[in-house]
C-alpha cells in the first residue's frame, strides 16, 4: 500500500482556501484575456470554460497542494486545463507569456497535452472519458512492472483521474470497469466533479446512487462528498434535518436554477416547501440572502476539509476509489448554476467585480499573489513551495532495449499472419532484453491472430496465479494458458477501446515509470474502427506501441463482409504518430518488425501498424538484400522496369500473386513493364508531402516515391492494386503526372472463396490485364 501523509489541520485548510481563490481567478482571467483583451486577427472564437474551472478549483487546490503522493500521476479534466497551468504558474514552472497566449499558437493548449504543453502533463486529455480510463490501465501497467521487478514497490504511485460527471455517460468507462475488475487493478482514484451539469443540460436525477452501485459491484470504494461544513453545521440546528432532506431530494435542474437566481430565490422556495416545519423559519431568518446563498452552495466538492478527509480515506487502502464530489458549476462566479454556463464567459464588469472582491488592483491581474499582504503572500508562497505540487513527478529517464537481428521464418508458402506468430515465438524462445520488454495484449482474439505460441512460451499476466485447468485435467489443447505475475500477455475482453487504451498506457511506461516496454497488440483489421478515438488518443500523446491488425480485406473470404476491412489503409494514412505497413512476404515482415522495435524507441519515432493477412502465398527467391531498405522505406521494385517502360503494376499485400501473374502475362506485350511492391502507402505519401513542403524552405530533396517512379518515363501508365480502398494508391499518379487506373475494394464484401471474390471485386489477374489495357489506351 502507498503511504501518504495528508495534512488536515486548520492552517492547511486555510492556505488551500486562499489558493482556491487564486486558481479560480487566474483560470477565469486567462480565459477572459484570450477572448476579450488579446487582439484577434481572424475573428474566430477562442473559447474556454470559466464555469468548469470554478467547479473544480477546490478539488484541484486540495489535491495538488495537500493530497498527492510523490509518485502519483494525474489526468486532469479537459475543461479544467487552465487550473493546471495556473498551478504551475504559481510554482514558477510556466512563464507568463504562455498563459497570456492561452489557446494561441505555441501557448497554453486548450486541453492538457503531454506533447504540446511545456509543463509536465502526465496524461493528455480532450476526448472525454479516455483520459479517465487510461489511468486504470496505467495502474495495471504499474502492477505489471512491479511484478516483473522493473519498478520498485516503494516507487509506486496512484493513477488519478479528475473527471466531469458527464464523462460518466461515456461507454468506455464501463468497458474499463469490467476489465479492471478482471485484472484486480489497484491504486487508482477517479475524482468526479459532480456539478450535475453538462454542455447541454443538467444530468438525470435517476442516476443518483446508480453510479455507487455500479462501481461498488466492480470492487471500487465509493466515497461521496455531498455537503460542506457550513451545510453540516446548519443540519445540526433546529430545522436542519428538514433542510438536509430537502437538499437531498431537490431535482438537479431546480438546484441549478435556484443557484443562479441567488439568495432571494432560495429563501422563497425553501419557505414555500418547508418553511412551516419546526425550526426552518428561524434557521432561514438567521441568514441574510448572501449568507443563505453561500450555505446552499456549500457542497462537499467545495469543502477543503471534506476533500482532504476523502483523500485520506482513499489512501488507507490500495483498492480503487471513486470520489464523488458534489459541486456547483461556476461556483463563486455570476454564471453559477445557469444551464448555459458551460461555454459562457463573464463580461468585463463581472470580471472587475470578481477582481475587486479578491482585492486585486487593476493592472495586477496576472500577479499570482496580488491582493495579499506581504506576510500573507510570503506564507502562501512558502506553503506552495513545501506542497506536493512542488514535487510533482516528471517524465523519467530510461534505457533503450537492444534489438537483435530478426531472421525471416522459413517456408516456401506462408501468410504474413502466421509469419508474425512464428517471429514472436522465436523471440520468446531466444529470450534476452527484447523478449523481456515485449508485452502483448489482445481483445479476445489472441489465438486467431497467431499470438497463441507467444502466450504458450511467455504466459498470461495475472497478479494472482491462474491455473490452466484443461492442462491439469490432461485435456488436449495447443493452448497452454496458465497465468502468474511473470506472464507477459494481458488478455482483454472484446472491447477495442480497452485494447488501444491498454496499448497507450503500456506505451507510456518509459516516461511514466522509467522502463521501456514494447507493447504489441493484435486485433481484427476491420475492428480498428471500433476503437479509433482511443487509437488517436494514444498517438496524440506519443505513446509507443506495435499494432498488428489481421486478417484484412476481402481476402478473409468465407468469413464474410462484416469481417472484411476496406478503409484501414486510409485511416492509417491520415493518423499522425502511426506508421502503417502491409507486407506481402515473410522476409519483409521480419525486416519491418526489426525496424518497428527500433522506431518505437527512437527520439522522433512513433507507433507502428502492421496490416497482415491469412492467405498463404509463395515466397520469393531473393537474389540479394536490395529489397530490404526499400521495404522499410515504403516500396521497392520487385520487377524493375526496363528502359523506356510504358507502364508498371503497383501492388501490395495479399494480392501480390495476382500482380505477379498479370506481370508474367503482360511483360512480353508491354515493353519494360515493371512491378512495384508497396509496403507502406503511408510512408510513401508522407515522404512525398514532406518533400513538397521542404522545397519552399530549402534545397529540393526527392522523396522515396519520387525516386522509385523516376525509373519510369513521365508518360508511363500505372495500374494500382490493393485489398482495400483504391484511394490508398491512386494518388501515385500525382507524383509525376502519370495516368493511373486504380483497383481495390470500395464496396462491402461478402462470403465466397478467393477466385469468386477476386473476380467480383476486380482484384484478379484478368482485372489487372483489363486495367492495363485501359491505362495504355490513348485518350
Q: State yes or no: pLDDT of 779 exceeds 60.
A: no
What gap in Å lies between CA 243 and CA 287, rounded to an integer?
14
What gap in Å lies between CA 180 and CA 174, rounded to an integer?
10
Alpha helices (H) in 316-464, listed in sequence order: 348-357, 374-385, 416-430, 433-437, 452-458
- Closest listed residue to residue 282, CA positions, set 270, 269, 265: 270
Indicate the pLDDT class of residue 199, thresholds 50, 70 and 90.
Answer: low
Query: DSSP letters of 594-659?
Result: HHHHHHTTSTT--EEEEE-----EEPP--SSSHHHHHHHHTEEEEEPPPTT--EEEEE-GGGHHHH
User: Can you tell me whether residue 587 is helix, strand or coil?
Assistant: helix
Mind listing the pLDDT tens digit for each residue in 543-584? 999 999 999 999 998 887 788 999 999 999 999 999 999 999
Q: Indicate the angle between helix axes 263-274 and 252-261, nearest 10 degrees.
A: 130
CA atoms within 13 A on the CB side of 689: 9
All 3 cell numbers of residue 259?
A: 443557484
Q: What is the dihedral of CA 466, 469, 474, 475, to 10 degrees?
A: -120
Residue 263: C-alpha distances to residues 168, 284, 485 (Å): 31, 10, 58
- Closest listed residue to residue 417, CA positions, set 548, 300, 323: 548
All 3 cell numbers of residue 103?
A: 489557446
Indicate the pLDDT class of residue 30, thresholds 50, 70 and 90.
Answer: very high
Q: How many CB atoms lie within 10 A of CB 714?
A: 9
- pLDDT higher for 606 or 202? 606
> Helix, strand, coil: what percent of the chain each, to 5?
50, 10, 40
The answer to whether 267 touches 292, Cβ cutoff 8 Å, is: yes
- Closest listed residue to residue 581, CA positions, set 602, 554, 599: 599
Indicate the pLDDT class of residue 201, thresholds 50, 70 and 90.
Answer: low
- Closest listed residue to residue 421, CA positions, set 583, 581, 589: 589
Q: State yes or no: pLDDT of 670 exceeds 90.
A: yes
Mind listing the pLDDT tens digit for each residue in 168-192? 889 999 999 999 999 999 999 999 9
Query: Scanning the structure block, which residue is given the C-alpha cell 527520439?
Result: 603
Mind listing the pLDDT tens digit for each residue in 430-488? 999 999 999 999 998 999 999 999 999 999 999 887 777 667 776 777 777 778 899 99
The answer to whether 750 touches 758, Cβ cutoff 8 Å, is: no
325 strand-pairing partners: 193, 225
What gap in Å lies between CA 712 and CA 733, rounded to an integer?
12
Residues 6+ apart with CB under 8 A from 573: 580, 681, 682, 685, 686, 728
pLDDT value for 444 = 87
- Written in H, E and C, the secondary structure of 171-205 is HHHHHHHHHHHHCCCCCEEEEEEECCECCCCECCH
Regarding pTM above 0.85, the answer is yes
Indicate the pLDDT class of residue 208, thresholds 50, 70 and 90.
Answer: low
The answer to whether 31 touches 328, Cβ cutoff 8 Å, is: no
What gap in Å lies between CA 2 and CA 215, rounded to an integer?
22
What gap in Å lies between CA 87 and CA 524, rounded to an integer?
43
> What's the chain's average pLDDT?
93
What number is the average pLDDT over the span 651-676? 97
Among positive and negative, which fits the CA dihedral 158, 159, 165, 170? negative
User: Can you tell me whether residue 37 is helix, strand or coil?
Assistant: helix
pLDDT value for 695 = 82
Residue length, the chain? 779
The answer to whether 506 touches 142, Cβ cutoff 8 Å, is: no
What gap in Å lies between CA 435 and CA 458, rounded to an integer?
9
581 strand-pairing partners: 610
- Closest listed residue to residue 71, CA positions, set 4, 119, 133, 135: 4
User: Can you tell me whether residue 274 is helix, strand or coil?
Assistant: helix
Q: What is the dihedral of CA 134, 137, 143, 144, to 10 degrees?
A: -120
Where in 45-187 does DSSP place strands (E)? 73-75, 159-164
Where in 180-308 does DSSP place strands (E)? 188-194, 221-225
Residue 753: C-alpha distances to residues 95, 110, 449, 651, 756 (Å): 64, 51, 20, 21, 6
Element of type H or E holding 321:
strand 321-326
pLDDT value for 198 = 57
- Closest listed residue to residue 225, CA positions, set 178, 158, 165: 165
What gap in Å lies between CA 111 and CA 119, rounded to an integer?
12
Indicate the pLDDT class of residue 228, thresholds 50, 70 and 90.
Answer: very high
Least confident span in 47-51, 138-142, 718-722: 47-51
Indicate the pLDDT class of residue 127, thresholds 50, 70 and 90.
Answer: confident
Indicate the pLDDT class of residue 197, thresholds 50, 70 and 90.
Answer: low
Mind listing the pLDDT tens digit for each residue in 500-542? 999 999 999 999 999 999 999 999 999 999 999 999 999 999 9
* Residue 299 DSSP class: B
The answer to whether 726 touches 743, Cβ cutoff 8 Å, is: yes
Amino acid at each position: 500500500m502507498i503511504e501518504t501523509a495528508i495534512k488536515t489541520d486548520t492552517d492547511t485548510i486555510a492556505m488551500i482556501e486562499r489558493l482556491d481563490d487564486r486558481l479560480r481567478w487566474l483560470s477565469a482571467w486567462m480565459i477572459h484575456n484570450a477572448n476579450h483583451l488579446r487582439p484577434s486577427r481572424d475573428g474566430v472564437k477562442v473559447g474556454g470554460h470559466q464555469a468548469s474551472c470554478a467547479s473544480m478549483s477546490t478539488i484541484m487546490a486540495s489535491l495538488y497542494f495537500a493530497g498527492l503522493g510523490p509518485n502519483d500521476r494525474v489526468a486532469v479534466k479537459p475543461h479544467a486545463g487552465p487550473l493546471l497551468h495556473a498551478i504551475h504558474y504559481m510554482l514558477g514552472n510556466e512563464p507568463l507569456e504562455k498563459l497570456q497566449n492561452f489557446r494561441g499558437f505555441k501557448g497554453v493548449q486548450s486541453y492538457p497535452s503531454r506533447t504540446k504543453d511545456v509543463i509536465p502533463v502526465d496524461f493528455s486529455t480532450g476526448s472525454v472519458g479516455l483520459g479517465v480510463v487510461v489511468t486504470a490501465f496505467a495502474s495495471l501497467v504499474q502492477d505489471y512492472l512491479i511484478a516483473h521487478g522493473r519498478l520498485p514497490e516503494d516507487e509506486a504511485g496512484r493513477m488519478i483521474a479528475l473527471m466531469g460527471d458527464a464523462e460518466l455517460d461515456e461507454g468506455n468507462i464501463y468497458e474499463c470497469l469490467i476489465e479492471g475488475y478482471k485484472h484486480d487493478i489497484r491504486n487508482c482514484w477517479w475524482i468526479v466533479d459532480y456539478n450535475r451539469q453538462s454542455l447541454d443540460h443538467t444530468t438525470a436525477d435517476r442516476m443518483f446512487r446508480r453510479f455507487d452501485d455500479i462501481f461498488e459491484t466492480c470492487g471500487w470504494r465509493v466515497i461521496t462528498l455531498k455537503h460542506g461544513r457550513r451545510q453540516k453545521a446548519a443540519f445540526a440546528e433546529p430545522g436542519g434535518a428538514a433542510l438536509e432532506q430537502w437538499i437531498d431530494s431537490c431535482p438537479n435542474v431546480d438546484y441549478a436554477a435556484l443557484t443562479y437566481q441567488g439568495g432571494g430565490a432560495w429563501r422563497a422556495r425553501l419557505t414555500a416547501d418547508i418553511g412551516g416545519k419546526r425550526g426552518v423559519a428561524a434557521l432561514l431568518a438567521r441568514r441574510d440572502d448572501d449568507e443563505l446563498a453561500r450555505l446552499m452552495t456549500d457542497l462537499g466538492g467545495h469543502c477543503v476539509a471534506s476533500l482532504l478527509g476523502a483523500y485520506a480515506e482513499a489512501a488507507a487502502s490500495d483498492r480503487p476509489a471513486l470520489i464523488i464530489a458534489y459541486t456547483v458549476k461556476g461556483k463563486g462566479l455570476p454564471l453559477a448554476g445557469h444551464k448555459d454556463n458551460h461555454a459562457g464567459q463573464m463580461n468585463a464588469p463581472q470580471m472587475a467585480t470578481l477582481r475587486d472582491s479578491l482585492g486585486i488592483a487593476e493592472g495586477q491581474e496576472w500577479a499570482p499573489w496580488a491582493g495579499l499582504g506581504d506576510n500573507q503572500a510570503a506564507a502562501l508562497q512558502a506553503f506552495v513551495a513545501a506542497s506536493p505540487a512542488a514535487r510533482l513527478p516528471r517524465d523519467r529517464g530510461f534505457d533503450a532495449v537492444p534489438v537483435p537481428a530478426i531472421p525471416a521464418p522459413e517456408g516456401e508458402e506462408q501468410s504474413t499472419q502466421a509469419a508474425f506468430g512464428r517471429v514472436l515465438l522465436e523471440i520468446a524462445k531466444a529470450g534476452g532484453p527484447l523478449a523481456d520488454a515485449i508485452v502483448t495484449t489482445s481483445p479476445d482474439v489472441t489465438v486467431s491472430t497467431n499470438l497463441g505460441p507467444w502466450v504458450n512460451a511467455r504466459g498470461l499476466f495475472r497478479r494472482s496465479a491462474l491455473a490452466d485447468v484443461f492442462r491439469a485435467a490432461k485435456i488436449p489443447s495447443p493452448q497452454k494458458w496458465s497465468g502468474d505475475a511473470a506472464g507477459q500477455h494481458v488478455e482483454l475482453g472484446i472491447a477495442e477501446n480497452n485494447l488501444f487504451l491498454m496499448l497507450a498506457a503500456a506505451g507510456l511506461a518509459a516516461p511514466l515509470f522509467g522502463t521501456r516496454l514494447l507493447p504489441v497488440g493484435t486485433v481484427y483489421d476491420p475492428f480498428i474502427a471500433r476503437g479509433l478515438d482511443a487509437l488517436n488518443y494514444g498517438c496524440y500523446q506519443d505513446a509507443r506501441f506495435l499494432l498488428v491488425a489481421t486478417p484484412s480485406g476481402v481476402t478473409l473470404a468465407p468469413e464474410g463482409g462484416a469481417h472484411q476491412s476496406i478503409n484501414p489503409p486510409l485511416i492509417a494514412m491520415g493518423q499522425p504518430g502511426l506508421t502503417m505497413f502491409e507486407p506481402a512476404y515473410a522476409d519483409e515482415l521480419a525486416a519491418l518488425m526489426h525496424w518497428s522495435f527500433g522506431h518505437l524507441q527512437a527520439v522522433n519515432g512513433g507507433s507502428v501498424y502492421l496490416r497482415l493477412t491469412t492467405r498463404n502465398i509463395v515466397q520469393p527467391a531473393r537474389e540479394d538484400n536490395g529489397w530490404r531498405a526499400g521495404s522499410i522505406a515504403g516500396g521497392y521494385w520487385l520487377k524493375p522496369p526496363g528502359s523506356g517502360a510504358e507502364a508498371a503494376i503497383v501492388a501490395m499485400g495479399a494480392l501480390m500473386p495476382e500482380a505477379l501473374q498479370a506481370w508474367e502475362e503482360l511483360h512480353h506485350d508491354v515493353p519494360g513493364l515493371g512491378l512495384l511492391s508497396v509496403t507502406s502507402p503511408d510512408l510513401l505519401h508522407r515522404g512525398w508531402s514532406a518533400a513538397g513542403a521542404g522545397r519552399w524552405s530549402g534545397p529540393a530533396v526527392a522523396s522515396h516515391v519520387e525516386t522509385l517512379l523516376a525509373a519510369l518515363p513521365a508518360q508511363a501508365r500505372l495500374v494500382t492494386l490493393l485489398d482495400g480502398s483504391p484511394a490508398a494508391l491512386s494518388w501515385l499518379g500525382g507524383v509525376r503526372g502519370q495516368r493511373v487506373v486504380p483497383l481495390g475494394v470500395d464496396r462491402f464484401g461478402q462470403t465466397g472463396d478467393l477466385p469468386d471474390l477476386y473476380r467480383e471485386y476486380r482484384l484478379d489477374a484478368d482485372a489487372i490485364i483489363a486495367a492495363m489495357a485501359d491505362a495504355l489506351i490513348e485518350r
